[in-house]
Amino acid sequence: MYQHILLPVDGDEGTEAAVEHAIDLANTYGASLHVLFAVEVRGLDLLEEPNLEKFREDLEAEGAAALEDAEVRAEDAGVTTVTTLVHDDPREAILTYADENDIDLIVLGQGRGGLSRLVLGSVTDRIVREASVPVLVVGDAED
Protein backbone atom coordinates (compact mmCIF):
# COMPACT_ATOMS: atom_id res chain seq x y z
CA MET A 1 0.00 0.00 0.00
CA TYR A 2 2.75 2.46 0.96
CA GLN A 3 6.21 2.42 -0.61
CA HIS A 4 7.44 5.90 0.33
CA ILE A 5 6.36 7.69 3.52
CA LEU A 6 7.28 11.32 4.19
CA LEU A 7 7.92 12.41 7.77
CA PRO A 8 8.55 16.16 8.14
CA VAL A 9 10.27 16.88 11.46
CA ASP A 10 10.84 20.14 13.27
CA GLY A 11 12.71 19.10 16.40
CA ASP A 12 9.74 19.81 18.68
CA GLU A 13 8.43 17.30 21.20
CA GLY A 14 5.08 17.34 19.37
CA THR A 15 6.59 15.29 16.56
CA GLU A 16 7.63 12.37 18.79
CA ALA A 17 4.38 10.48 18.30
CA ALA A 18 4.50 11.15 14.55
CA VAL A 19 8.02 9.73 14.35
CA GLU A 20 6.89 6.55 16.09
CA HIS A 21 3.83 6.18 13.86
CA ALA A 22 5.82 6.79 10.69
CA ILE A 23 8.46 4.24 11.65
CA ASP A 24 5.79 1.67 12.54
CA LEU A 25 3.95 2.23 9.24
CA ALA A 26 7.17 2.03 7.21
CA ASN A 27 8.10 -1.18 9.01
CA THR A 28 4.64 -2.67 8.54
CA TYR A 29 4.49 -1.92 4.81
CA GLY A 30 8.18 -2.33 3.98
CA ALA A 31 8.25 1.32 2.90
CA SER A 32 11.16 3.71 2.85
CA LEU A 33 10.92 6.60 5.27
CA HIS A 34 11.78 10.04 3.90
CA VAL A 35 12.59 12.41 6.77
CA LEU A 36 12.50 16.11 5.88
CA PHE A 37 13.53 19.23 7.78
CA ALA A 38 12.84 22.63 6.25
CA VAL A 39 14.87 25.61 7.43
CA GLU A 40 12.47 28.55 7.25
CA VAL A 41 14.22 31.30 5.31
CA ARG A 42 11.48 33.92 5.08
CA GLY A 43 12.15 36.98 7.19
CA LEU A 44 15.75 36.11 7.97
CA ASP A 45 16.89 39.15 6.01
CA LEU A 46 15.29 41.33 8.71
CA LEU A 47 17.92 40.23 11.24
CA GLU A 48 21.17 42.11 11.66
CA GLU A 49 23.92 40.63 9.46
CA PRO A 50 26.00 39.04 12.27
CA ASN A 51 22.87 37.50 13.79
CA LEU A 52 21.59 36.19 10.47
CA GLU A 53 24.41 33.74 9.91
CA LYS A 54 24.34 32.53 13.54
CA PHE A 55 20.56 32.08 13.43
CA ARG A 56 20.77 30.13 10.16
CA GLU A 57 23.54 27.93 11.59
CA ASP A 58 21.45 27.25 14.70
CA LEU A 59 18.45 26.26 12.57
CA GLU A 60 20.59 23.98 10.42
CA ALA A 61 22.10 22.34 13.51
CA GLU A 62 18.62 21.81 14.98
CA GLY A 63 17.50 20.30 11.69
CA ALA A 64 20.51 18.01 11.43
CA ALA A 65 19.90 16.76 14.98
CA ALA A 66 16.20 16.11 14.30
CA LEU A 67 17.03 14.27 11.07
CA GLU A 68 19.72 12.16 12.74
CA ASP A 69 17.43 11.25 15.65
CA ALA A 70 14.65 10.06 13.33
CA GLU A 71 17.12 8.26 11.07
CA VAL A 72 18.76 6.35 13.95
CA ARG A 73 15.40 5.37 15.40
CA ALA A 74 14.13 4.20 12.00
CA GLU A 75 17.27 2.25 11.18
CA ASP A 76 17.15 0.61 14.63
CA ALA A 77 13.70 -0.63 13.60
CA GLY A 78 15.04 -1.92 10.27
CA VAL A 79 13.52 0.87 8.17
CA THR A 80 15.38 2.34 5.20
CA THR A 81 15.60 6.12 5.47
CA VAL A 82 16.31 9.08 3.23
CA THR A 83 17.04 12.34 5.06
CA THR A 84 16.84 15.79 3.51
CA LEU A 85 17.43 19.30 4.84
CA VAL A 86 16.12 22.11 2.63
CA HIS A 87 16.03 25.90 2.86
CA ASP A 88 12.42 26.74 2.09
CA ASP A 89 9.04 27.50 3.57
CA PRO A 90 8.01 24.27 5.36
CA ARG A 91 4.62 24.12 3.64
CA GLU A 92 6.16 24.49 0.20
CA ALA A 93 9.00 22.10 1.01
CA ILE A 94 6.66 19.33 2.17
CA LEU A 95 4.29 19.59 -0.78
CA THR A 96 7.10 19.84 -3.33
CA TYR A 97 9.05 16.97 -1.81
CA ALA A 98 5.96 14.74 -1.78
CA ASP A 99 5.22 15.46 -5.44
CA GLU A 100 8.80 15.06 -6.62
CA ASN A 101 9.57 11.84 -4.72
CA ASP A 102 6.50 9.65 -5.32
CA ILE A 103 5.42 9.88 -1.69
CA ASP A 104 2.39 7.72 -0.85
CA LEU A 105 1.66 9.07 2.66
CA ILE A 106 2.64 12.13 4.69
CA VAL A 107 2.82 11.71 8.48
CA LEU A 108 2.69 15.00 10.40
CA GLY A 109 2.97 15.76 14.08
CA GLN A 110 0.50 18.32 15.31
CA GLY A 111 1.96 21.28 17.19
CA ARG A 112 0.67 21.72 20.71
CA GLY A 113 1.39 25.31 21.67
CA GLY A 114 -1.20 28.03 22.17
CA LEU A 115 -4.17 27.93 19.84
CA SER A 116 -2.88 24.83 18.04
CA ARG A 117 -4.55 22.87 20.81
CA LEU A 118 -7.86 24.00 19.33
CA VAL A 119 -7.15 24.06 15.60
CA LEU A 120 -4.59 22.58 13.25
CA GLY A 121 -1.44 24.63 12.81
CA SER A 122 -1.05 26.60 9.59
CA VAL A 123 1.52 24.19 8.14
CA THR A 124 -0.55 21.12 8.99
CA ASP A 125 -3.77 22.75 7.77
CA ARG A 126 -2.26 23.63 4.40
CA ILE A 127 -0.72 20.18 3.91
CA VAL A 128 -4.02 18.47 4.74
CA ARG A 129 -5.86 20.71 2.26
CA GLU A 130 -3.34 20.71 -0.59
CA ALA A 131 -1.47 17.41 -0.55
CA SER A 132 -2.12 15.05 -3.44
CA VAL A 133 -1.62 12.02 -1.16
CA PRO A 134 -3.15 10.93 2.15
CA VAL A 135 -2.00 12.81 5.25
CA LEU A 136 -1.93 11.30 8.72
CA VAL A 137 -1.94 13.91 11.50
CA VAL A 138 -0.65 12.47 14.77
CA GLY A 139 -1.39 14.29 18.00
CA ASP A 140 0.63 14.02 21.17
CA ALA A 141 -0.62 11.05 23.20
CA GLU A 142 -0.44 13.09 26.43
CA ASP A 143 -3.28 15.42 25.38
Each residue's pLDDT tens digit, 76-106:
999 999 999 998 889 999 999 999 999 999 9
CATH number of residue 35's parent domain? 3.40.50.620
How many Å apart are CA 27 and CA 110, to the nearest integer? Answer: 22
Q: 40 or 126, which is more confident?
A: 126
Q: Please indicate, yes or no, if residue 40 is contained in any of the structural domains.
A: yes
Q: 15 or 47, which is more confident?
A: 15
Query: 34 pLDDT exceeds 70?
Result: yes
* Total structural domains within the chain: 1
How many Å apart are CA 69 and CA 18, to the nearest integer? Answer: 13
Q: Please indicate, yes or no, if residue 28 is contained in any of the structural domains.
A: yes
Domain extent for 57: 4-138
Query: 136 pLDDT exceeds 50?
Result: yes
Could you tell me the pLDDT band of residue 114, with boundaries at 50, 70 and 90?
very low
Q: Please indicate, yes or no, if residue 74 is contained in any of the structural domains.
A: yes
Q: Please indicate, yes or no, if residue 116 is contained in any of the structural domains.
A: yes
Q: 55 or 33, which is more confident?
A: 33
Q: Please indicate, yes or no, if residue 143 is contained in any of the structural domains.
A: no
User: What beta strand segments (E) does the chain contain?
Assistant: 4-8, 32-39, 81-87, 105-109, 135-138
In this prediction the pTM is 0.86
